[in-house]
Amino acid sequence: MKKILILSANPKNTSHLRLDEEVREIKNTLQLSPNRDEFQIITESAVRVDDLTRFLSHHQPTIVHFSGHGSGTDGLALEDNSGHVQLVSTQALAKLFDLFQEQVECVLLNACYSEPQATAIHQYIDCVVGMNQAIGDTAAIKFSVGFYTALAALRNYEDCFQMGCTSIDLQGIPEYLTPAIKIRRRRYQTVQATNPAKSDKDNGMNNDNKGGQNRSVSIGGNATGSAIITGDSSTANVSN
């Protein structure tokens, strides 16, 4: 059985995200599958930094899914004891997943500009998905539905990723270019970095947010995130 731990955070001083809807869609997708007994879903909301080690230690998940705001190289936005933003750094996240690399197979960071965290975590976890720029709520939810639809059909993580991107594309949303996967075959094959399509520039496509609030947050000025996919690079800037 694969145990899926869904962590979400939407601090008071950030834009409202439809995180409950995303969790509901993931649950429905897996519960409707004939293979539903192969999965267990655990949800934790309003996640604080101190919760991370406790939840990972207690639940021992196979898949860790984070939904919330990202701030590029500054980190992911969790909550402090007052419910406001507290960033957890890229380096700290990588060190955390180093401790759980024997248990966790896949990490999905459904937050804007989260590719720097995905790259760092991939040092220890074989499959990590992040976002190479801002992603709106609609695209983020569609990606999750596609990803877990394939997972419920017992497909591999690469297929799950492609299904997630295709689910965005089928809605006519250009953000299907936004998810990025870092994956290797466990223990013996080489590292791969895959993007479902060419860069925005190569495709002549405008990736403006067309899905409501995006999943980024700016803290105290400018935050710059770097997205690196199969040799192509782009820089995402977030400002007040």
Model confidence pLDDT, tens digit, residues 108-121: 999 999 999 999 99
What's the chain's average pLDDT?
Answer: 85
Give, for 219, the enclosing helix (H) or strand (E).
none
Which runs of consecutive H residues, i.e. helices, occur in 87-176? 90-98, 115-121, 137-152, 157-170
pLDDT at 196 over 70: no
Q: How confident is the model at residue 47 (pLDDT cuts 50, 70, 90)?
A: very high
- Is the Cβ–Cβ distance between 97 and 57 less than 8 Å? no
Model confidence pLDDT, tens digit, residues 63-111: 999 999 999 999 999 999 999 999 999 999 999 999 999 999 999 999 9
Q: How far apart are the first and last CA of the chain?
A: 44
- 232-238/223-229 β-pairing: antiparallel
pLDDT at 240 over 80: no
pLDDT at 208 over 90: no
Give the tokens for residue 226.
Answer: 């770097």
pLDDT at 30 over 50: yes
pLDDT at 231 over 70: no
pLDDT at 224 over 50: no
Residue 184 vs residue 204, higher pLDDT: 184
Q: Which of 91-95, 128-132, 153-157, 234-238 has the lowest mean pLDDT?
A: 234-238
Res 192: pLDDT: 42
Residue 19's Cβ-side half-sphere holds a number of Cα atoms within 13 Å equal to 24
pLDDT at 40 over 50: yes
Domains and CATH numbers, the chain: 2-238 (3.40.50)
Mean pLDDT to the nearest integer, 185-210: 45
Closest to 92 (Cα-Cα) out of 116, 75, 79, 67: 75
Res 160: pLDDT: 98
Lookup result for tokens 């975590």 = 121
